[in-house]
Amino acid sequence: MKKLLYILSVSLASTAFLPSCTNLESEMYDVINPGIFPVNEDDANALVTAAAYAPFRSNWYDGMFTAANGGIHVIGDMTTDIGYCQWNDVCWPDLLDVNFSSTSDCPTKIYKNHINFIGKMTLALDRISGIEMKEETKNRLNAELYCGRGWLAYMLYDFYGPIQIPTLEQLNDPLGEQIIPRVSQAEMVTFIENDLKAAIAVLPATYKVTDSNYGRFTKGLAYTVLMKLYMHEKEWAKAEECGRELMKPEYGYSLMANYKDIFTLENEGNPETIWAAVCSSSVNQQLWLAHVLSSQYPTRNESIQKWGGYRVLWDFYHTFDKSDKRLEVLVGEFVGTDGVLYNEANPGTVLQTGAMPVKYGEDPAATGEESQIDWIVYRYADVVTLLSEAIVRKNNAVNQEALDLLNMVRTRAGLTAYTLSDVKDVQDFLDKVLEERGHELWFEGARRTDLIRHGKYIEYARKYKNSVTAQDYMTLMPLPQSVINESKGQVIQNPGY
């Protein structure tokens, strides 16, 4: 299952100078000669792996899913009622206070670090088009590029609104000093939708953990991202179709019996996982526990690094039922290695701002900050709760099916199932969905988008983060000011910034 990691590491080295997706940065466009590379199937595999997969890694301090402040799940959740960081690094105040500006580092980081991969994937599609190889292989590689490009475009759209999408002609004329403007919202949605549908038409439903292709993009992943796009656009019927598709037996998805078992080394590739960033002890390594655990927290492996940074705010912690099994890995009380009982009443410096979001299990081989446990990006619990919401929003009525879907996650946590008599009206049900998804998906990157869709993002920033700087327009983050300056005003900043 770790084969993809080796391919990716080799591919990144061989394609380090792939050109940028906009003309806003100067790069060494003549380093790779398309007449020399790629020329065969192995080259094509290396090129596609580097272009399509490089953004979607949890690789130390690199990749979209790093546990550090460049991770999209970290940046997103730290701006919500869930997240807090106990460090004084310069990036955190802007996120924690919801005080975004075009010169803020972290709010603009996802754009700065990943926008260029849109163009790299477009170029890769062109560069492999003339290579002789098995038709099945070429179709799969094209589909992986479409999936990666559509997925990345969706994530950038969710954070920043419509982005710059260069054409192949523009990319093939890198010295032409062309300014690439942002596309319209309709064009953006169509671009994402078309790419994901192109991927869906070809990719396999899923890969088992024992398959050497485990970690590659799948139809299940593409449908999940498409569902999230439709939820973002309030296309409830289309979102429902995606959710129902993902429930079909061919995908093999199901909920794990125990929440805490989802995120462990021994259960990698479990049936709840739709897609995970594959990690190993030698190539990609994720750093979650190092960012979360305090030095006083007891672990079986005493060699694990513990920096004690990330916390879940006490106000959010108190929204859990005390019998909720998810609290087994959201630690609000423990006896430390120093013999002290730490909790909200006696937090010391350990739990001063909130509970400890442990979530992931220990890597017994870890000797520092690293962990080889795969970082789970999307899982089935996310899909069934979104489907529950989509059904109710589409019909503007609560039915038993929607309630049963929500209860799948709720009862897994050891809680009493809701009945129709427990739900006052549609709004009450939507509030219950929002709360349940928060309890289920903390620090998995869903909370910011959920709050925006429910119209509560800025309200919660003011109420729970005590933000005096949060403004209504901050449901979108700003583009970097450098992009606006270098475009000489032809790239338009988001309103309010």
**Each residue's pLDDT tens digit, 14-35:** 443 333 333 323 233 334 566 6
Per-residue pLDDT of 40-75, as tens digits, reads 999 999 999 999 999 999 999 999 999 999 999 999
The pLDDT > 70 percentage for the chain reads 93
> 172: how many CB neighbours lie within 10 A of its CB?
15
Supply the pLDDT for residue 37: 80
Q: Is 229 left (phi over 0), alpha (psi -120 to 50) or beta?
A: alpha
- 384 has a pLDDT exceeding 90: yes
| Contact in structure between 110 and 159 (CB atoms under 8 Å) | yes
Residue 8: pLDDT band by 50, 70, 90 thresholds? very low
φ/ψ of 342, rounded to 5, equals -100, 135
Residue 213: pLDDT band by 50, 70, 90 thresholds? very high
Contact partners, residue 397, CB within 8 Å, separation at least 6: 426
How many Cα atoms are found within 13 Å in the side-chain-facing hemisphere of 164?
29
Nearest to 200 by CA among 184, 224, 182, 181: 224
Task: Enumerate the H helices of 318-425 as residue ranges.
Answer: 380-395, 400-412
- 3 has a pLDDT exceeding 50: no
Supply the pLDDT for residue 169: 94
- 382 has a pLDDT exceeding 90: yes
Predicted TM-score (pTM) of this structure: 0.93
Strand partners, 277: 375
Across the beta sheet with 83-85, what order do the strands follow?
Answer: 83-85, 310-313, 354-357, 330-331
Structure-token pair, residue 221: 């992943």
Report, as an integer, the average pLDDT of 134-153. 98
The pLDDT > 90 percentage for the chain reads 90
Q: Which of 69-78, 275-284, 307-316, 344-353 has the weakest average pLDDT?
A: 275-284
- Give the position of tokens 């272009």: 51
Supply the pLDDT for residue 35: 63
Q: For the chain, what is the mean pLDDT?
A: 93
Supply the pLDDT for residue 283: 83
- 432 has a pLDDT exceeding 90: yes
